[in-house]
């Protein structure tokens, strides 16, 4: 098995869920092949950054220079994982992927993109359009829209800034460290307001799927009258495929 490097901490709840999902997914893989207990899991190293620090270092959309310090924190974390002899890396968060083109400079270790995993998964649903939900960084960037367009899917045009900031506030108040009792209701209100029929809703912040605990490991699921894509689960599936190739 290949060794996985997990860059976590943004936020810690989703980092825990990545580790759990990878371990359980590997367990299922080997159990289905008749392997006895204890079931193997891929070797993993976690390098955790501090979300309070990285949030303060966010730059301004369109101003590359303003992101230099933010990029550096994640680049150093990936280099630490590379020095730990990880075969490939994953960032257990959507937000930093908007800066992946810069973060990975100087890093030799392959990094699995959440955009690729999610776009390919969304394409398999047959949905012609998508609504991307996430942090202000994710929703203001064009990464998801561009990657989805390559699969023939039209992503939502940018929502009003007030709505984007509403989603960020929801993540901060109702999803940090786990979903609050009110989280699912607030999220569904937002979806009902902005998702037209036939839309695949991308829960493109690793905390958002916590509102649907029965579907944490499902890359695609239906709930409350909506079709959802769980980028975290799609990313984990891609990581397991890479780590377990040949086993």
State the sign of the Cα–Cα–Cα–Cα dihedral 222, 226, 230, 234.
positive
The Cβ of residue 112 has, within 10 Å, a number of other Cβ atoms equal to 18
Indicate whether 115 pLDDT > 80.
yes
Indicate whether 230 pLDDT > 70.
yes
Q: State the pLDDT at residue 141.
A: 87
Range from 12-26, 104-118, 227-241 carrying the lowest mean pLDDT: 12-26
Q: State the pLDDT at residue 96.
A: 93
What residues form DSSP beta bridges with 130?
155, 200
Q: State the pLDDT at residue 183.
A: 95
More confidently predicted of 60 and 122: 122
The Cβ of residue 214 has, within 10 Å, a number of other Cβ atoms equal to 8
Indicate whether 227 pLDDT > 90.
yes
Written as six digits, the tokens of 34 are: 């008749």
Backbone phi, psi, residue 223, to 5° = -160, 140
Indicate whether 226 pLDDT > 70.
yes
For 50-67, what is the mean pLDDT?
Answer: 91
For 66-72, what is the mean pLDDT?
Answer: 96
- Convert the pLDDT of each residue in 168-183 to its tens digit: 999 999 988 788 999 9
Strands (E), the chain: 4-8, 44-48, 88-91, 129-133, 154-155, 199-203, 220-223, 226-229
* CA-closest candidate to residue 138, choices 181, 186, 97: 97
Instruction: Kindly report the three-state secondary structure assignment for every residue of 116-183.
Output: HHHHHHHHHHCCCEEEEECCHHHHHCCHHHHHHHCCCCEECCCCCHHHHHHHHHHHHHHHCCCCCCCH
Q: State the pLDDT at residue 246.
A: 82
Evaluate whether 207 touches 179 at the Cβ level (below 8 Å): yes
Where does 4-113+235-244 sit in CATH, by number? Answer: 3.40.50.1860
CA separation for the pair 57, 109 (Å, rounded): 24
For 75-85, what is the mean pLDDT?
Answer: 98
Q: 4-113+235-244 with 114-233: one CATH topology?
A: yes
For 44-65, what is the mean pLDDT?
Answer: 92
Kindly report the average pLDDT of the chain as a whole number.
94
Written as six digits, the tokens of 180 are: 């609050």
CA separation for the pair 197, 7 (Å, rounded): 36
Report if pTM > 0.85.
Answer: yes
Percent of the chain with pLDDT over 90: 83
The Cβ of residue 81 has, within 10 Å, a number of other Cβ atoms equal to 25
For the chain, give every domain's residue range: 4-113+235-244, 114-233
Q: State the pLDDT at residue 206.
A: 86
Written as six digits, the tokens of 163 are: 């709505």
CA separation for the pair 180, 50 (Å, rounded): 22
CATH class of 114-233: alpha beta
For 34-51, what is the mean pLDDT?
Answer: 95
CA separation for the pair 108, 247 (Å, rounded): 25
- Residue where the block lists tokens 């495929």: 241
Written as six digits, the tokens of 9 are: 């901490």
Indicate whether 150 pLDDT > 90.
yes
User: What size, in residues, is the chain?
Assistant: 247
Indicate whether 157 pLDDT > 70.
no
* CA-closest candidate to residue 91, choices 125, 200, 80, 197: 80
């Amino acid at each position: 098995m290949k060794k996985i490097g997990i860059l976590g901490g943004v936020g810690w709840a989703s980092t825990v869920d990545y580790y759990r999902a990878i371990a359980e997914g590997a367990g299922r893989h080997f159990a289905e092949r008749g392997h006895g207990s204890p079931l193997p899991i891929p070797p993993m190293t976690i390098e955790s950054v501090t979300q309070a620090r990285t949030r303060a270092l966010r730059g301004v959309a369109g101003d590359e220079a303003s992101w230099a310090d933010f990029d550096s924190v994640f680049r150093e974390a990936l280099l630490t994982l590379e020095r730990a002899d990880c075969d490939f890396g994953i960032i257990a968060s959507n937000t930093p992927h908007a800066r992946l083109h810069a973060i990975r400079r100087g890093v030799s270790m392959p990094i699995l993109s959440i955009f690729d995993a999610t776009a390919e998964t969304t394409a398999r649903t047959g949905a012609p359009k998508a609504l991307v939900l996430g942090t202000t960084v994710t929703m203001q960037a064009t990464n998801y829209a561009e990657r989805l367009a390559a699969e023939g899917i039209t992503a939502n045009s940018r929502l009003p800034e007030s709505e984007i900031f509403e989603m960020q506030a929801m993540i901060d108040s109702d999803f940090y460290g786990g979903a609050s009792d009110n989280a699912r209701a607030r999220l569904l209100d937002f979806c009902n307001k902005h998702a037209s029929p036939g839309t695949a809703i991308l829960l493109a912040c690793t905390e958002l799927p916590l509102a649907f605990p029965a579907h944490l490991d499902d890359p695609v699921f239906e709930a409350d009258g909506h079709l959802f894509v769980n980028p975290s689960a799609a990313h984990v599936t891609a990581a397991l495929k890479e780590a377990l190739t040949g086993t």
